[in-house]
Chain A
Amino acid sequence: QKEVEQNSGPLSVPEGAIASLNCTYSDRGSQSFFWYRQYSGKSPELIMSIYSNGDKEDGRFTAQLNKASQYVSLLIRDSQPSDSATYLCAVNSGGSNYKLTFGKGTLLTVNP
């Protein structure tokens, strides 16, 4: 069973701080990695994708991938109360181009 693991939190940070969210995955053949944001009662919203080792930055978000360690992370700089949500890590397992396997998500709370 191919798994994606996340610390469920809650992770609480003060406004303006850096929030660090982590994810590990079990399938070494995984090729594509995504971070989704899900507000309570809403659908997942794609915020970052990363396909190769290293860092990828988009505005206040940085995704980091280390395939050797089977580890993906998301950094949110200058955290805002509006960033308070559950962050879902999703992975395309190596044998599939179509199926995303999701983690349970980490609940982030940004305190004003």
Chain B
Amino acid sequence: EPEVTQTPSHQVTQMGQEVILRCVPISNHLYFYWYRQILGQKVEFLVSFYNNEISEKSEIFDDQFSVERPDGSNFTLKIRSTKLEDSAMYFCASSEAPRSAFFGPGTRLTVL
């Protein structure tokens, strides 16, 4: 069964450093998303991406965040200058159509 993959599974970084989280969505899916989950809290929407542009973003997704689809398979989330509060699980998701989302296994980001 096709699945969303994410790398790395765990990323440790120093405050102020840039990180790039990578995702390979399911191949026939057209809609891509990033969500995050701080330990013990709700899953929160960050951004959706369709047809090579952002279709919606949340208040969390400020100027420190950016997304890109650099080629036909990868989808990336960049955090320019990480803060302690960015420590969370980051989930990439994809779907054939809007509405639902199929999640990848996540990247645990730890900012020291």
**A104 on interface, CB distance cutoff 8 Å:** yes
**B103 on interface, CB distance cutoff 8 Å:** yes
* A46 B100 Cβ-Cβ under 8 A: yes
**B65 on interface, CB distance cutoff 8 Å:** no
Contact mask A32-56 → B, CB, 8 Å, 1/0? 1010100000111110010000000
Q: Which of B50, B101, B104, B105 contacts A100 (CB 8 A)?
A: B101
A103-B99 contact given A43-B91, A43-B106, CB 8 Å threshold:
no
Q: Which of B48-103 contact A (CB under 8 A)?
A: 48, 50, 55-56, 58, 89, 91, 98-103
* B45 A101 Cβ-Cβ under 8 A: yes
* A102 B103 Cβ-Cβ under 8 A: no
* B98 A100 Cβ-Cβ under 8 A: no
Residues of A within 8 A of B102 (CB): 46
Given contacts A42-B105, A44-B43, 19 further A-B contacts (CB under 8 A): A32-B99, A36-B103, A42-B106, A43-B105, A43-B106, A44-B103, A45-B103, A46-B100, A46-B101, A46-B102, A49-B100, A88-B43, A98-B33, A98-B56, A98-B98, A99-B58, A102-B44, A104-B42, A105-B42
- A interface residues (Cβ-Cβ under 8 A, vs B): 32, 34, 36, 42-46, 49, 88, 90, 92, 96-105
